[in-house]
Amino acid sequence: MLARHHDPIAAIATAPGRGAVGIVRLSGKGLAAVVATICGKPLQPRHATYLPILDGQGQPIDQGLALFFPAPHSYTGEDVLELQAHGGPVVLQLLLARCLEAAETIDVATGRAPLAGLRLAQPGEFTERAFLNDKIDLAQAEAIADLIDASTETAARSAARSLSGEFSKEVHVLLDRLVHLRMLVEATLDFPEEDIDFLQQSDAQGQLTGLRETLAGVMHRAQQGAILREGIKVVIAGQPNAGKSSLLNALAGAELAIVTPIAGTTRDKVTQLIQIDGVPLHVVDTAGLRDSLLPEVGEVEKIGIARAWREIESADAVLFLHDLTRQQTPEDPQMAQRYKAADAAIAADLADKLPVNTPIIDVWNKSDTAPAAVVTEVRTGVVISAKTGAGLQQLRQNLLALVGWQAAPEGVFMARERHVRALQQVDGQLAQAARQLKAPAPALDLLAEDLRQAQNALSGVTGAFTPDDLLGEIFSKFCIGK
């Protein structure tokens, strides 16, 4: 534990701005003396006490509630004091200043400060101390931030399940089975002269197969949880006037983007967070794609096209929008051919610039005004009308399926990309162990090492083997008072 983890800390624990209630929180060892100084009297543990909170000159700052939680029965595992007052920013700053002042005020009787060294907390430091003091594990700590940041009800419920320990329980079950398997291998290594073959007698192969099957289920739910947490970036791409802005408005259920029949109306990206079945989607409307060398393309539109390609290249999924009304133009057959050629050029560029695993959905728009014969000719993708809403529900479901959303919401716990990578590493190590175990003459020392590496990777999910720099990165993303 670093030296700074022994310092008493204080912070405003509620969000910036005005509100009905605001909270100032302190945590550290031996808070009782400073509690009496700030509150004017000792407090009964875990009972809310209504009292005036006075400044150093005895003048009231506010009337509020004070709660004292002696260690170890507190959020951080240390002594914790919470002052609940009116939620004005000035009031809370005065309360925080009073706490810092009271901690350093020399007591005449003892000649010492009640809580010397009290300092402002760093982001996430209260939760970091809860983790370091074994009140929660790392996966639960991350779930606290995920619960605060949840953008949909499904994400919030999944984060709450992780916070309650459901994800951690799954990991610990895997760990127990993995440790038992390691024990069998180590026993065979330590006692090679014994007649008993520990691995065969204990069905090590069967145990390893069962372990990998259970891991596959946990990985699936973790991948679903990562989708819930991170959301999906969906970029709408296509030629000018294909209806990209209309589709964004239809998916969002609001008039967010300007829609006109003038080509090149959208010059910069328009992003909106929406949800489909509780899954957050960051939908990006982009400038229409066309050859920047065309004489009618101005400098501003060229910049918009370049930005559109940058958004497309970083997308989790692309909706490639086609205009059905321009697939067949009896009054000008060459126009339809030019439109189809331009679509083909965009498709080639998408194939060239996107990672092979980025899904592309062909979306055929304006089915409400296109000739019926043209609509029936569509063989791939989804036919929609952004104007009437026809086909949008099918588009939503296809989009979720393509990006990997399959689980029932109540079976998902919140997870992060870090967790998914760790579980994938475990799966890789167990796959190597399985190959070793199936060999005619297994190299038991290599098998033991594969299992050890798998255990370390799995333990990293809950924080048993986690470097300090990773902890710093994780907790630095929390809010100050948490």
Residue 470, pLDDT score:
64
| Sequence-ordered list of residues with C-beta below 8 angstroms from that of 71, at least 6 positions apart, any chain | 29, 77, 78, 79
pLDDT band at 245 (very low <50, low <70, confident <90, very high): confident
Distance CA 78, CA 350 (A): 55
Binding residues for (6S)-5-formyl-5,6,7,8-tetrahydrofolate: 25, 82, 135, 482
Both structure tokens of 54: 């006075």
Distance CA 312, CA 319 (A): 10
- Tens of pLDDT, residues 450-464: 999 999 999 999 987
- Tens of pLDDT, residues 310-325: 999 999 999 999 999 8
- Residue-range definition of the domain harbouring residue 201: 159-228+412-463
Residue 13, pLDDT score:
93
Binding residues for GTP: 241-246, 260-266, 285-288
Are 355 and 456 members of one domain?
no
Of 349, 380, 402, the position where a domain reaches its end is 402
The share of the chain scoring above pLDDT 70, in percent, equals: 89
Q: Which of 63, 68, 76 is nearest to 36 (CA)?
A: 68
Residue 195, pLDDT score:
42
Q: Is residue 163 part of a domain?
A: yes
Higher pLDDT, 303 or 432: 432
pLDDT band at 391 (very low <50, low <70, confident <90, very high): very high
Are 210 and 263 members of one domain?
no
- Say if residues 462 and 168 touch (Cβ distance below 8 Å): yes
Are 191 and 268 members of one domain?
no
Say yes or no to pLDDT of 274 above 90: no
Per-residue burial over 192-226, b = 16 or more CB atoms within 10 Å of its CB, e = otherwise: eeeeeebbeebebeebbeebeeebeebbbbbbbbb
Both structure tokens of 238: 């296509």
In order, the DSSP letters of 121-143 are: PPTTHHHHHHHHTTSS-HHHHHH
Binding residues for K(+): 241, 260, 262, 265
HSE-CB of 245 using CA atoms within 13 angstroms: 20
In order, the DSSP letters of 223-285 are: HHHHHHHH-EEEEEEESTTSSHHHHHHHHHTS--S---SSTT---S-EEEEEEETTEEEEEEE
Q: What CATH number does residue 59 fall under? A: 3.30.1360.120
Q: Is residue 177 part of a domain?
A: yes
Say yes or no to pLDDT of 129 above 90: yes
Are 349 and 275 members of one domain?
yes
Residue 268, pLDDT score:
60
**Mean pLDDT value of segment 186-209:** 74
Residue 196, pLDDT score:
47
- Say if residues 82 and 45 touch (Cβ distance below 8 Å): no
Are 168 and 129 members of one domain?
no
Question: Which residues are 382's β-sheet partners?
Answer: 363
Q: Is residue 223 part of a domain?
A: yes
pLDDT band at 97 (very low <50, low <70, confident <90, very high): very high
- Say if residues 158 and 408 touch (Cβ distance below 8 Å): no
pLDDT band at 125 (very low <50, low <70, confident <90, very high): very high
Higher pLDDT, 114 or 80: 80
What's the mean per-residue pLDDT of the chain? 86
Distance CA 278, CA 412 (A): 12
**Mean pLDDT value of segment 203-222:** 91
Are 297 and 370 members of one domain?
yes
Q: Is residue 469 part of a domain?
A: no
- Tens of pLDDT, residues 278-296: 888 899 998 888 876 666 7
**Mean pLDDT value of segment 290-314:** 82
Binding residues for Mg(2+): 245, 266
Give 197's DSSP letter. Answer: -
- Tens of pLDDT, residues 430-451: 999 999 888 887 888 899 899 9
Specify the 3-state DSSP secondary structure of 323. Answer: strand
Distance CA 273, CA 386 (A): 18
Are 203 and 222 members of one domain?
yes
Residue 332, pLDDT score:
76
Q: Is residue 274 part of a domain?
A: yes
Residue 469, pLDDT score:
66
Higher pLDDT, 198 or 474: 474
Distance CA 202, CA 139 (A): 32
Q: Is residue 80 part of a domain?
A: yes
Cα 40 to chain centroid distance, Å, stands at: 43
**Mean pLDDT value of segment 193-197:** 53
Are 98 and 192 members of one domain?
no
Residue 21, pLDDT score:
94
Distance CA 241, CA 479 (A): 43
Q: In what order do the strands lie in the sheet with 317-323?
A: 270-276, 279-285, 232-238, 317-323, 360-365, 382-383
Q: Model's pTM, two decimal places?
A: 0.79
Residue 2, pLDDT score:
52
In order, the DSSP letters of 7-29 are: S-EEEE-S-SS-EEEEEEEEEES
Q: Is residue 479 part of a domain?
A: no
Are 245 and 334 members of one domain?
yes
Q: Is residue 142 part of a domain?
A: no
Higher pLDDT, 397 or 482: 397
Q: Which of 416, 427, 411, 430 is nearest to 221 (CA)?
A: 411
- Say if residues 458 and 175 touch (Cβ distance below 8 Å): yes
Are 289 and 391 members of one domain?
yes
Are 30 and 68 members of one domain?
yes
Residue 92, pLDDT score:
95
Q: What CATH number does residue 273 fall under? A: 3.40.50.300
Structural domain count of the chain = 3
pLDDT band at 192 (very low <50, low <70, confident <90, very high): low
Residue 37, pLDDT score:
87
Q: Which of 64, 74, 67 is nearest to 29 (CA)?
A: 74
Higher pLDDT, 384 or 408: 384
pLDDT band at 69 (very low <50, low <70, confident <90, very high): very high
Say yes or no to pLDDT of 298 above 90: no
Residue 384, pLDDT score:
92
Binding residues: 25, 82, 135, 241-246, 260-266, 285-288, 482
pLDDT band at 257 (very low <50, low <70, confident <90, very high): very low
pLDDT band at 109 (very low <50, low <70, confident <90, very high): low
Are 57 and 200 members of one domain?
no
Residue 260, pLDDT score:
44
**Mean pLDDT value of segment 258-274:** 61
**Mean pLDDT value of segment 179-194:** 78
**Mean pLDDT value of segment 234-241:** 91
